[in-house]
Amino acid sequence: MIVKIINKSDNALPHYETEASAGMDLRAVTTEAITLKPLERTIVKTGLFIELPVGIEAQVRPRSGLAAKHGITVLNAPGTIDADYRGEIGVILVNISNENFTIENGERIAQLVFARHEQAQFEEVEVLSETARGQGGFGSTGKN
Ligand SMILES: O=c1ccn([C@H]2C[C@H](O)[C@@H](COP(=O)(O)OP(=O)(O)OP(=O)(O)O)O2)c(=O)[nH]1
């Protein structure tokens, strides 16, 4: 799949680190280091602008290392990049640790995963089909 991209950052284009990686790392673009206090959030720029084929979305997902080691995650994970979006990709990072965390320019902050999606048309009805689950949800099948 070809995705058009404008790269206004000083970083190389995002790329897959290994042969079968699902995600490409996104790097922060910032003139000065950003320090996130506990529970603080910010939108980090990437300098990247993409044009996705219709029917493809890009998901902005956390990096597990940042989450596990520092409590840094993508607040709206997975962030959705729509195929008709032409703005800069931003990453909403939040610090859910008890310590400050500093993001340097060029640091890998999140990853981008491309996915196919459907658009649905609603068919409004009065009754839905019966199933074994019925209206059970939110833990209705037990704890374990
Ligand atoms: O993590 C994200 C999420 C979204 N976007 C951009 C691309 C996306 O196509 C657009 C709108 O995102 P979304 O639909 O999630 O935002 P909204 O809050 O519903 O805003 P809008 O009213 O602009 O749709 O913002 C990002 O750059 N990063």
Of 14, 9, 10, 7, the C-alpha closest to 108 is: 14
How much distance in Å is there from the Cα of 81 to the middle of ligand 1? 6
Closest CA relative to residue 97, chosen from 61, 67, 77, 64: 67
Residue 138 has a pLDDT of 93
114 lines ligand 1 (CB under 6 A): no
Q: In this predicted model, what pLDDT tens digit does every residue of 83-132 receive, in sequence order?
A: 999 999 999 999 999 999 999 999 999 999 999 999 999 999 999 999 99
Residue 137, pLDDT score: 94
Whether ligand 1 lies within 6 angstroms of the CB of 50 is answered as no
Of all protein residues, the one whose alpha carbon is nearest to atom 14 of ligand 1 is 80
Per-residue pLDDT band for 144 (boundaries 50, 70, 90) equals confident
**pLDDT, tens digit (0-9, with 9 covering 90-100), for 62-82:** 999 999 999 999 999 999 999
Q: Which atom of ligand 1 is nearest to the CA of 85?
A: 9
Ligand 1 pocket member 79 (CB < 6 A): yes
* Prior bond of 62 cis (ω within 30°): no
Q: Among the atoms of ligand 1, which is closest to the Cα of residue 84?
A: 9
